[in-house]
Amino acid sequence: MEINDSVALVTGGGSGIGEVIAYELARKGCSISVVDMDEASANRVAEKIIKEGGKAISTQANVVDEADTEKFIELTIDSFEKLNIVIPCAGIIRDGLFINPDKEKNKIKKKLDISKWKSVIDVNLTGSFLTIRDCSEAIFNGKWPGLIIPISSINKVGQLGQLNYSSTKVAISLFPKILIGEFMMRGIKNIRVVGLAPGYTSTALVEKMDQSILDSLIKDVCLGRLIDPKEIASLVMHCIQNEALNGTTIEITGGICHPGSIAK
Ligand SMILES: NC(=O)c1ccc[n+]([C@@H]2O[C@H](COP(=O)([O-])OP(=O)(O)OC[C@H]3O[C@@H](n4cnc5c(N)ncnc54)[C@H](O)[C@@H]3O)[C@@H](O)[C@H]2O)c1
């Protein structure tokens, strides 16, 4: 698929990975629909793209809300007359241990809060599901070439303290295979689905983590540093242009290992 003259919708486009992907796609001639819960961030990103000579709109929306989802897709198509590339980057972390005993009393003192469980499932899983479902509907009905890029994480393999997050990311990593199977079954040929599973990337989400934990995690990465969101944007460009990529989730981690150098 050509990047130039395509239309991309990026949820969570007001920050981090989504923001950088939005800039890089815009620089290659793609029109961008920036969607974010944080209105000021979405506006800032769209304004920067326009200032640099690109085309962009911004919409404040909660990806968990069905009506909001319909609205941002409709606004995108009203503005740019089509939709091609969908990157659902809106995501959150709310880390905590499943059950945590008090060593002295030998009783559980803390449990993973239901609000932490539900909020992560809602935004990361249900939000991605809604964006992908309704964008796929629009792209099929519009008969445009389409590419959906679900955002998983290397922590799909299971990260301690992230039962909620890892559960969403393993589910997202299955979307490409299941969706492509269903598309084949129903003769839907104009939409590819290629997931990305990044490792630790330099964004606000990671900055919110305990820095001592982050430092110890980076020790297990061959690259020896956080991934730059531009490196993820570069893989997005490749996914758009390489039509042989379909029905899979690609890991981009800098070579992440478990302690003892076993590949994660
Ligand atoms: N940063 C990493 O190391 C890393 C690694 C693997 C995967 N990821 C995934 O990449 C995606 C982007 O992460 P990031 O690091 O850029 O995070 P980020 O915090 O920088 O950006 C996330 C954006 O999503 C928005 N958002 C949150 N909830 C929303 C909602 N309900 N509706 C609309 N917008 C909402 C936020 O306002 C924010 O602008 C997430 O899905 C994350 O899980 C990140």
| Max CA pair span of the chain | 64
Owner of token pair 């998983």: 152
Work out the burial of residue 237: count CB atoms within 10 Å of its CB; fewer than 13 is exposed, 13-18 middle, 19 or more buried: middle
Amino acid at 131: T
pLDDT at 208 over 90: no
Asked if 117 and 168 count as a contact pair (C-beta separation under 8 A), the reply is no
Judged by phi (left if over 0) then psi (alpha if -120 to 50, else beta), residue 3 lies in alpha
Q: What are 4-51's pLDDT values in tens digits? A: 999 999 999 999 999 999 999 999 999 999 999 999 999 999 999 999
Separation of 195 CA from ligand 1 center, angstroms?
A: 15
Question: What pTM value is reported for the model?
Answer: 0.97
Counting from 1 in the atom list of ligand 1, the atom nearest the Cα of 18 is 16
Name beta bridge partners: 248.
194
**Candidate of 89, 118, 227 to mutate for ligand 1, largest count of ligand atoms within 8 Å of Cβ:** 89
Segments making up each domain of the chain, as ranges: 7-263
Classify domain 7-263 by CATH architecture: 3-Layer(aba) Sandwich (3.40)
For 138-183, the pLDDT digits (tens) are 999 999 999 999 999 999 999 999 999 999 999 999 999 999 999 9
- Measured from the CB, is residue 232 less than 6 Å from ligand 1? no
**Per-residue pLDDT tens for 69-120?**
999 999 999 999 999 999 999 999 999 999 999 999 999 999 999 999 999 9
Show the tokens assigned to 151.
């955002």
Question: How far is the first Cα of the chain from the last one, in angstroms, to the nearest whole number?
Answer: 32
